[in-house]
Structures are given as C-alpha cells and as structure tokens.
Structure 1
Amino acid sequence: MFARAIRVKSNTAIKGSDRRKLKADLSAAFPSLSADDLSELIPNKEELNVVKIYAHKGDAVTLYVLHKNPLFFELEKRLYPTVYVLWRHPDLLPAFRTWPPVLQKMIGGADLMLPGVVVPSSGLPDVKQGDCCAVTVVSNRAPVAVGTASLSRADMHGAGMKGRGVCVLHTYMDHLWAFGDKSGPPLLPDAESEGQGLNGEECEDDEEEEEKVKSRVEEEQITGEHFTDEACSGVEELSLAKEEEEEEEEEKGEKDIEEEEGSKEDQKMPQEIMDALLLQCFLHALKSKVKKTELPLLTSTFLRIHMFSCCPSGKQLDIKKSSYKKLSKFLQAMQQKHNLVRVKELTKGVESIVEVDWKNRELRSFHVPEELEEEAATMQDGGEGETPYHPPEITTLYSVPARLEPLFLDANKRKGMILQPAEVRHIVTEYVKNNELVDENNKNFVTINPTLCDCLLEKSEYQEVDSLKWDDLFSRTLGRMQECYEVVYPGQAPIRKKGHIEPIDIAVASRGSNKKVTLIKNLEVYGLDPAVVATALQRRVQASSVLQPIPGSKDKVLVQIQGNQIHQAGNLLLDHYQIPRKYIQGIDKAPKGGKKK
C-alpha cells in the first residue's frame, strides 16, 4: 500500500481528548497491550502528531506519529501498528514466517502467497479471514510487514497452502517506514526457524531451501498457476504484463546483489557520503542558484537558501555528519583546494562569499542530476508535484445600505445589491447630472439636495454644508456602503462575502524556553493549502513545522514553523505565490539585518 510515494495533507498536534480516545481504541484493538505499554506508546506529556496522508492509489490514511516515527496508521476506521511498534512488541500480532528473498517482493507491493509461508512445528497461527497479522523472516522474530489474513487457518490448509495468504499493507523499507527515522529491525532469534522448510518440510540448510522455492516458482509459472511474481512465494500475478515482470526481476536481481555484496553506500563511511552530498549541493548552488549581483553573500545565507534547496528529496544535508564538521572549514577547503570561491570576513565574526570563479573547470563540468532538474521543474518550492498555483483575483465590492437606497433608486439598485466601485461612481455621477446639482460657478463642487443631505451628511452638517467636492462625494458614498469582496479562484465560480477580506497573518510567538516560532494563518482564504506552504518553508529554512487547528474555526489551520521566519515566509508569499502585499499582515515585523555587537 505504501510501496510508492505518499502525499501529506495535514500534520497537527493531537488534542487531549483525542489522545485518550486513541488509547481506548488501541486497548480494544490490541488487548495484549498493558496499561504501561499504552502509556509508553502514547505518553501523556509528549507531543503526538496526527498526520493525514494519501497513499499513491488515493486511499486516505491517518498516522499517529511520536518522535517522528509513525506508531499506528488508521485505514477505514481500523488501526494497524507499524513495524516500529512491532519491533518493540514483536508478539503483538499473530505472525507468518517466510524466506528473506520474499521481503524484497513485498516491499515492491506484493502480497504474501501461501507457497512462500514457512510453517513452524506449532503450525500456522490461529487467524480468521480479515484478522490483522504480521510477517517475519526465517531466523528473526522481528516483524517486517503488516497486513490482513486472506483466509482463515482452516481455509489455508483446505486450499493446499496455495493462493494468497496475507494481504500486505505496510512493510519495512516502504514509504511509511521512510516517514520515520529509517531504523532497521532488531535481531530477535527464532529457534523454531532452524531446519524448517517450505510448508513444514525439512531441509538441510537455508540455501537448499531457497533453491526449492525458486524451482517451485518456475514450476508454478510453467503450469499456469496464477500467483503473484512480486510475492516471495514466487508465483505470477495476472495483472502484471510480461514487460513489467522482466523489469521487476531485473530490479530484484539488483537488490539481491546489493544485499549479498553490501551496497556501495553502506561500504562507504557515512562521512564520505555526506562529503559527496555536500560537494554536490555546493556546486549545484553555485551553478544554478547564486547570481553575481548577490555577491558578497553571507555564508550562512548561502547554506540556508541555496545549498539546502539543492538537496535531493529523501536526503538531508547535515554538515556535522561530514568530515568538515563546520561550514567555515568546508568553504575553506573549497577555496584552498578547488579555488572555487573566495571567502572573506567583512564584519568581525561574519564570513561572506565575495568572489566565485565561474570559469573553474570543476564548476563548468558539473551537471545537475536529471532527477533534480525534473524535481525543480515539477516542484513549486515544496509542492511535490502539486498543480501549479495561480493566485485568485480579489475585488473589493460595495453593498447598498438602507440609508443610501434613495440615492440608487433611479438606477434600480435596491438595498443589499452588490456593486463594483466603478458602478457606484457612475450611478452617483448620473444622479448629480440628472438632478442638475453641479455648481454653476465651480464645476468641481456638487450642490447638496435633501436626498444627498440625508444620505451623506452628519446631523451637525445639515445647516453648514451646502456643497461637496466630487472626490468627497464619492468617498462619503463608498464610506457609508457595506464593504464586500469577491474572490475568483481559477476555474471556479466567484465567491462573494460581506466585510473585509482577512489578510494572511504572519506573527512570531514564544514557546517553552523562550524559543521563537513563526505562525501563519488565513492561507485558505487565498486558495493556499497550508500543508503545501509548510513543506515549502521547510525546504527553504530547514526547520520543522506543524499544522494546528485554529480554535473556533472549522476549516482553517495554523502553520507553525521553528524560528523567526517572517522574512522567508513573506518572500515565499510575495514572490512565489504572488499574493499582493496589501493582503499580507506582519511582514514589516521581520528582523532587520545589522552588525552583531
């Protein structure tokens, strides 16, 4: 289910009442969890997030995330544990065992077929059709997959151990697992796994048994049995075309080779991997992001704005994990060994890039990876494939109030009718001309008649004001009308509402230990998805963000991001989303750059 990329819709902190309800639901769904276990999994005083996502097939899934690890996911009002929970509670679900090569197929989206199940001496787990169950591999009791039983235990035996056994929903190494800290399964030895063969048959060793599995796969394919090739049991799935099968086999072969020999990435020291990523982002930023007019450029700004934005999706740039440890040492190496840049301390303690050698052979020969070019073309500052954003057209309108209705009667405009400002000016002008109220001595003034007096003048002005300038006449008319606004989103019918349109509000608040956070609200009014904006800001400033519901509002969400990010949020809204500055509140409170004392 999570074999392909998932899309995050929202990320909010759980409420206290919802936390208690979740504990009760987990206790009902998994009776073996004790009160202490539940308190450990769902602690009362630690932040637990509710993340709503869409799987690649469009299924709406709710995740419950603690310390960045998804603990449970809810699908169609049913709770399932993730592998992160099962590694702490391996006996939480009844488990089926299979061979390690099968895991690669399940990661690719396949179900577990019964010919690939290794039956222990105690027999198959006692399950009913639809029961939640886990999958383990031979020699390790730590679950690597979660799903539902396709058949009951009796029906599995009745089918001769052929057909689908477990409908797999989530596996180790899939995109739901990658949503967490990407840790591996613990080693939990399973004594019963030794010497067991396919469907309970004994074998001399694991390698011989795996050969039997492969030969059985070939026999099943020849005889036309319809089992999934993606499953480690090795049978063909009807829906797979022949070309897709060959591609999957090639991918499987590559993965197996990498597992047996050890991937090159794993053989490298973590520092070497980070050093290579650091150099790639550095060259990419110089070649595609930095302009000559930006120099001199603060090194911290260069890292935060340019280098972080060049980091491939799925990877995280962390200088502390490199051999350089500090940005200053890395830039010093780029200056001394590669002659790419010249760094100078323009202000005491603050370094800036003052010169870039654009003709440097290493820089000129660098090519941006294709996947990053495609990502830059399709991703709109973190939108990850979202439809390109087009700002709405916002128009200020005016509604005719009861007091001004006599002024608009000649134009057949009644109380409550909504007009454009130009229409108001035209109607007022026609009224003045039709009633011959233009001052004969000075055409810049309009004579006040009883109707205009009642509509536009205050009581204290009745005896004093005999005429008004045209501009004053129009401003008084608009000032006494009910202000409205019209928002037109691309491809949608216009939306009209009374009152002033709420501006996007950007503010800074303090949280525990006087840590600053930036709060952004009212994005929905302008057709912006708060989750997409939060992701875009995350990419720009490399800081975590959460979405929180606004009390008293049904459909609005507050974006909270770490640090004072007013400047970055303002630039994103103005430059990328093209929101007019008059509809953004709080940009003027951005911290101004200055010399450090």
Structure 2
Amino acid sequence: MFKKAVSVQTTRPLSGKDVKALRRSIQLQYDLEEDALAQLLPAKAEIALLKLSNRATAYTANAGSPLFFDPSGRGELLVPTVYALWLCPELLPPIYTYSEVSPKVLGGADLFLQGWIVPDGGLGQFASGDLRCVCIPQSPFPFAVGTLEVGSADVAKTGLKGKGLKLLHCYTDQLWGLGDKSVPDPGFTPQRIFPQVSTGDAPTAAADSQAEAASSGAAGAAAGSLEAPAPPVPESQDQLLEYCLLAGLRRVPPTELPCLTSDFYSKYMLPAKPAGANVDVKKSSYKKLSKLLTTFEKKGVLSQKVIHKQDNLNAVNASHALLTSFVEREGASPGASASGGAENGAVTGAENRVVTGGAASSGSAAPKISVTAAYRVPASLRPVFGAAASVDADREALHGEADARAALAGYATREGLAAGGGRLRLDRLLAGALYNKLEPEKEGAVVDEADAAARLLGKLTQFQRIVRRTPQGPLEVVQRGSVKAIQVSMQDRQGGRKHITRIVHVESFAIDPDELGGMLQRKFQTSCSVTKLPGKAETGKEVALQGNLLHEAGKVLAAEYGVPLEFIDVKTKK
C-alpha cells in the first residue's frame, strides 16, 4: 500500500497520556518484554503521529524513522515497519521465501503460497488475517510485512497453492523512504534480497548509497527497473549449485529435452557459474548431482525420467516461482541463453501463455518486442519432423519456420527423396498431405523443395510468439492464430462533457494490465480502474482511464513498452 507516492500531511507530537496508551497497546499486541519495548520506544522519547496522504498513520520516535503504522488510520491495527523489525526481529513470526522471489515482493506483489519455504518443523498454526514478516533463510532481517489470506487449516486441505500473504509494507517502498533509508545488511539491494553479507549492525556506506538511489526513484519507477549493484557470489557450495541449477534450467532449450543429467550439468549448469566461482558437487551437502535434482523435483521445478537405464532431465516447469523470479548474474559464461532456445528452437506450446526468460542484455534502454511465427505439428505430419514430434516427444511443442524447412530436408534425406538441385521426390505421405487430389503432383513426382516447404508450413497449426525484453528479463507470450492487437478506444459520455479511454488486449504483449493502469494513472494524474472483460471465454482485463487519452495512451504503449505501431488499434466511438 506504499508503492505509490505518499506524503506526510500533518505531524503531531503525542501527549504523555497518548504515549503511554500507545506503548501499552504495542506491548499487549506483541507480548513484549519491557527491555524490548524500550528498544523501540524509549521511555522519554518524543513520539510523533504522522498522518499520510493515503489515510494511513505512522509513529516515529525522536523524529527518526517510522516504527509502526496503522493501515486504516482508525487505530484498528498497529503494524511494525521494517525499521522496527530490524531492531526487534522477534516482533512477528516469519514467512520464509526464496531470494529469487524477493524481487517480486519488492515490486509490490503479494506473496503467493507457491513462493513459501516450509521449514523442517512445518508452518505451524496460523489464521487468516494474522500479521507475518517475510525473510529469506540466509538473512535474519525481514524485508516485508503483511497479513495472511489463508489459515493453516486451509493450507492443510489445498496445499501451497493460491493466495498467501497480502503485502502491506516492504523495504524500498514510500514508507521506508520516510525514514533514514538505511539497510540492515549490504545483501539488501533495491532489486533483490541476497544472503547476508555481513553481521554488523551498521550498514556500509555503499549499501546506504544503494538504498538512497532506490528511494529517489521509487516514486516514478518500480524498484526492479533500477540499476542493480553487482550481487556477491554465493559463499557456500549449496547456494552456488542451486544458482547454477536454476540458471541452467532457464538456459536449456525445450528442444533438448529429455537430455542426460550429466550433459545438462556440463552444457548448461557449469557455464552459468558466476565469474571467479568454483563449482564442486562433492563439497556441497548434496554430494551428488542426482540428489540436487531430486530435491528440486520435489519442489516441482523439474521432472526426471530414466531412459535406457540412464537418468535424464525430462521437463522444466517454467511457471514455477523459483524460475519466473530468477535473475541471472552478470559475469557468467555466455553459454546458451534462456531466450535463445525459445527464439530459435521449439518451446512447449500452450495457447495464450506467458513465460519469463533470463536476464536481459545489459544496456538495453527500452523494452523491445519481436513477433515471430511458430508452428505445431499435426499427427499426420509427425513422421516428417522425426524425433522432435514423435509419440514420446511433447506433442504441444512449437517449431520455428527454419525448423520446419530443416525437418523437410532431413526427411527427404532419410527417405532417399532428395532429387538434387533443390528438388525432392514425393512419397505417399508428402503427396497426400501437401497436395490435393485435383492437383497433378502425385506420388513419385519431383517438385521444388521450396514450394513443398511453403505448403508444409500451410498445413501446420500456426501460432505467434511475442517476446518483450524488459530490464528484468524477456517475457514471452504464445498465441494461436494471428496476433491480437491492443485496442485503445475513447467513449464520449454526458453529451461529450466526459470521456473515458479504454485499453484492452495488453496481455498479448506480456503487459500486466494492473501495472499499466497504475503507471498511466500516475503519469496523467487521472483516475483509473482495471476490470475483467465480460464473457466466460474472456480471460483478459480492461484498463479504463478518465479523460480523452486516446493518442497519449498509444504513444506510451509504443515508447515505454515497445509495442509496434501496427499492433496498436486506436479508434474513437461515440
């Protein structure tokens, strides 16, 4: 609730009576000992009440950083800030998540149950509405606080799926920016929380400067879009191996699966290691690669399969929170990029799906969008594509145009159909699949290979692969058929005295409607609503803005998000 610009409207010192009531409320709510309470609110400190522009209230001691806040401003709930939690971490029970997931939370997203780490002793008992702080296992300092949206009984029934913690406040947000902008450890960076770097209480000067840079840009940009300092190389072999595994899973093209686990380790994991790091499975607690893979298989990140008595990496769950939030570090060997396999090879096909890729290349100023055709192979033509479309392979896989032409050439070679000079001889399969009965080309006829390839593409189910490169990494959408253009329309109301600008189908280009609505609302200082489109078949949302922003919205989509102009349909309707 503090990601948008927040200002202090009034500041009022509390009377001695109000201070005693505040101290008593905090002590009872959090069951604090007197010494712990004194650490937060010293007995003779001057306590001030801050009324904020979003109706919340906050409390400071001796004109310092905010220590507690009331989200509603009506005295219903006192929530500790990250500053208070750094002074007294035992204020709230923690929810643990992965370092790779922290960028999502720092960007203002709620923490879904899929991103929770279950400790050895379990999650314990809790109820919907309970306050919890959020940490990573390698650091004792919380970086966010929120309320639970489910109880332990619900989790026991349905598992770790769906809504988990509703975010109220986090490091780098506007409430944090009202304080001294310190950080408890250099592992706290604007984009991500890394394992603890030092145990000192005072943050380093470098960390302070990073925090200040995050604060200065928070009003106009999400924390994830700021330039990140170079993260430290993990010190333990376990952390290093887990990093290389996730990076390797992001790099391996779906067309290479299944592959031997030993090949995956040498081709994709080792090249992903950070510069200057040494990887040795035997020096980790896993001891063997198979144990590492099995651990992450249990988390649902990957699946394995034994083929000819050899262990193979069979599939990668690209939608898992560990992979969608993973940010690859600079300095790793080039190897195969996460986006390279998706653009040049086949990807697992799913209509209207979104997949996040690896880190974007450094120095990219604005997001760029590329649109390329992709094809799914029907059962009748699987023999032409060989192993890539066999019964054992992923039938939903998509192939590029170059893959289809190469598959036809390979089939002609395998079946002895190559006639030389860019021509091939039709067998029964090709003649029946590519030519109709009224055409003269029959089995045994020699045809131009380029013409046959064009006909082959026409017989495949066509999809469109849209890749949008962002500072956090490439985002990919796959749609069946043609690209659905973004529609920007303006509607007159009250005889032309009032206008509403509507934007739909932004999901086609991996643009989050809620994120777009918030950005346009801030940019044009207007009211905005984001609602689900009507109709059972519709899955998208509509962004509605007050005012005539017809052409301005189109310009933002082109300039800020890189949407090609031919895919922005601007229309006016009375």
TM-score, normalised relative to structure 2: 0.36
**Larger helix proportion of the pair:** 1
Q: TM-score, normalised by structure 1?
A: 0.34
Q: Which of these two proteins has the greater Rg computed from alpha carbons? A: 1
